Amino acid sequence: MRSSRNFICSIFTRYSRGCRITAILAAAFLLGSCTGSLVTWISQNFQKTSSVPSISESTAASILSASSDSWGLSFQEKGKRPVGNASVEELKKYNAYFAQDTSEKVLYLTFDAGFENGNTPAILDALKKHNAPATFFAVGNFISDHPDLIKRIVSEGHTIGNHTMTHPDMSQISDISSFQKEMQQVEELYKNVTGKEMKKYYRPPQGIYNIQNLSMAKNLGYSTFFWSLAYVDWIQDHQPSSQEAFDKLLTRIHPGAIVLLHNTSSTNAAILDELLTKWEEMGYHFSSLDKLTGI
């Protein structure tokens, strides 16, 4: 790639103004050739599974040591736990989880709550009907703007987790004081609304993390939660159909799954009752994240 760039530069340097069209075409050709080679390499080396690189359990730990990463999954067998960026065992060192290593048909329901658009009440209705506990990972404004909704969530036996105050890329925060500030401001909002201390459950915004972040969260007393099942439900103008949602959420469910859904999804609000029913018919039951942490 570097030699191609040098060659392109020499073309522009050596040729006169009247030949620049030829030089541009040559550059485009070379760039296209390099890009084509790159695409071919990617297609040969990565498995297309939810747009996430395919990895094995044996390589997961080494990937966790990278400077920063976005949480990703590779679904390799129906009804089985997917392979994540890190293994269950490796994450445990940091009080972090993405699933439970179990054959028990237990599910852990979680919702990322960045704002409210009217869909959360229907979600809560469905959870109540099925006696299914859930954790809502809330951004600061969700708590401050909707105190009555927060009180309902808590009163119905659910947990409010910490999704940070401003939803930044936490992997770019390297000092403990700035990291703590993002967490502490949410804790204070929660206590002002409920009068209670917030449970120290944390989900990194967008699933972006690094080892330093996991360590800082642990040092602050937090457990970090990723997920082992999710689908593209957060795009407001392109909500999936009910069938599209079921195709993902029913075929990829597995024992010990931490399920990530978004409270802003109109699809989730519409199908959650039926979805929970279908999972129950498959033999699954629902439990709180407290079971994983032992809190």
Distance CA 9, CA 148 (A): 63
Full DSSP string of 149-209: HHHHHHHTT-EEEE--SS---GGG--SHHHHHHHHHHHHHHHHHHHSSPPP-EE--GGGEE
Only one residue has tokens 């002002």, namely 192
Distance CA 267, CA 275 (A): 11
The answer to whether 163 and 203 have CB atoms below 8 angstroms apart is yes
Give yes or no: 112 in active site: yes
Selected catalytic residue, list 130, 163, 254, 262: 262
Selected catalytic residue, list 112, 163, 233, 254: 112
Distance CA 170, CA 12 (A): 42
Distance CA 154, CA 127 (A): 13
Distance CA 98, CA 85 (A): 10
Give yes or no: 169 in active site: no
Cα dihedral 211, 141, 235, 204 in deg (nearest 10): 10
The answer to whether 150 and 179 have CB atoms below 8 angstroms apart is no
Distance CA 113, CA 193 (A): 16
Among 150, 135, 138, residue whose Cα is nearest residue 193: 150
Among 4, 21, 23, 22, residue whose Cα is nearest residue 13: 23
Task: Label residues 269-293 b or e (16+ Cβ within 10 Å = b).
Answer: bbbbbebbeebeeeebebbbbeebe
**Active site residue ranges:** 112, 262
